[in-house]
Amino acid sequence: MKKGEIYEGVVSDIAFPNRGKICREDGTVVVKNALPGQTVSFRVTKKKNGRVEGNLLEVVKPAPDEIPSPCPYFGVCGGCLYLSLPYERQLAIKEEQVRALLDDAVGRDAYGFEGILPSPRPFAYRNKMEFSFGDMEKGGPLCLGFHRRGSFYDVVTADGCRIADEDFSVILRSVLEWFQKTGDTYYHKRSHEGFLRHLLVRKAARTGEILIALVTSSQGTLDEAGFVRALTELPLSGSITGILHVINDSMADVVRSDETRVLYGRDWFYEELLGLRFKISPFSFFQTNSLGAQVLYEKARGYVGETKDQVVFDLYSGTGTIAQLLAPVAKKVVGVEIVEEAVKAARENASMNGLDNCQFIAGDVLKVLDDLTEKPDIIVLDPPRDGVHPKALKKILAYGVEKIVYISCKPTSLARDLAALQ
């Protein structure tokens, strides 16, 4: 196969992350966003060290087990690669990817695999959505939604997204219609000019509380009273507890705040998980699938097991969710988290839940471990996508605890860290 040339083939299986493997007589190539069983055409984009990569051009023939996607934006929007497959097949593919990584990292017979746990709700499960303002084609009408697949600039208005609650779509449509009438322009990534940047919406699965944050640059003026009135009059199944105007003049295409104005209500909402109550601010981390998080944390709590009279270290503790779930049956739980806003929320949540044996420390795990005088009996790790810093991992292993529970959101990072953990 030659770089730049177009070929066709059948996807035999899938490799992490989301790349279909095609075995041909002239070699093997991995193609992003191609599903097992599909016949696809692709262009070779990279050949290096015996590895060949290609870009998907067209699905010539669908896989035998593909079904009509329930989402009208499937294939155009940049998310939800597996939505044209039955949910059971989606789970099987993800299991295959994780098992392949673990087999390479530790050997097939060196670990026990307990299977994959499905989400209690495969649709309308997300409690947080970040929508972008833009246009679908240069000079086109204002859009609000997600980036088009494979594009950094084009935005697709996706007001019927199947993985988000219907209230998200109602809010999106209202905000888009509002700014289509005002004529405000979106923020252009190249010129760094324009007003509208993002719309952040969060909704608790248990309490139904909704927090809305409009993110703009400082290059415009918002009719705050009118904007609030338009949103608070919407027919929603949940209840709006806060509407915020976030000013962001950063050149990076990220949701962050230089200044936050509370236009209505408050700048947080409450979610409930396994009998505890959590206060969540606009930018603090919380698992985006609340009901799925309950399954995850119940499993983690089961792995931790008996904690009576024991000290638990919850490293990369975020807003302290895991720490507080373990605290009622532990002697003490120490959480360490680098994001100060999350630590503040963790302390408030622990107080609200009547837990006085939780200590939350703001700082880098690598540095904080040097200052801790207590020794843990159990360690829980829930690191960011990059995994645990190698130097921090050495310090963690030096405690010599019998049990470490590692929650990973990126299995390639887990596979790397497992070498040291073994």
Residue 409 annotated in active site:
yes
Q: Are 284 and 341 in contact (CB under 8 A)?
A: yes
Which residues does 366 contact at the CB level (< 8 Å), separation at least 6?
Answer: 389, 391, 392, 395
Q: Which of 71, 161, 358, 409 is catalytic?
A: 409
- Tokens 């262009």, residue located: 43
Instruction: State whether the Cα torsion 71-177-266-239 is positive or negative.
Output: negative
Beta pairing class for 332-337 and 358-362:
parallel
* CA–CA gap between residue 59 and residue 45 (Å, rounded): 18
HEC letters along the chain: CCCCCEEEEEEEEEECCCEEEEEECCEEEEEECCCCCCEEEEEEEEEECCEEEEEEEEEEECCCCCCCCCCCCCCCECCCCCCCCCHHHHHHHHHHHHHHHHHHHHCHHHCCCCCCCCCCCCCCCECEEEEEEEECCCCCCEEEEEEECCCCCCEEECCCCCCECHHHHHHHHHHHHHHHHHCCCECCCCCCCCCEEEEEEEECCCCCEEEEEEEECCCCCCCHHHHHHHHHCCCCCCEEEEEEEEECCCCCCCCCCCEEEEEEECCCEEEEECCEEEEECCCCCCCCEHHHHHHHHHHHHHHHCCCCCCEEEEECCCCCHHHHHHHHHCCEEEEEECCHHHHHHHHHHHHHCCCCCEEEEECCHHHHHHHCCCCCCEEEECCCCCCCCHHHHHHHHHCCCCEEEECCCCHHHHHHHHHHHC
Question: Is residue 22 classed exposed, middle or buried when 0-12, 13-18 and 19+ CB atoms within 10 A define those classes?
Answer: buried
**Active site residues per annotation:** 409
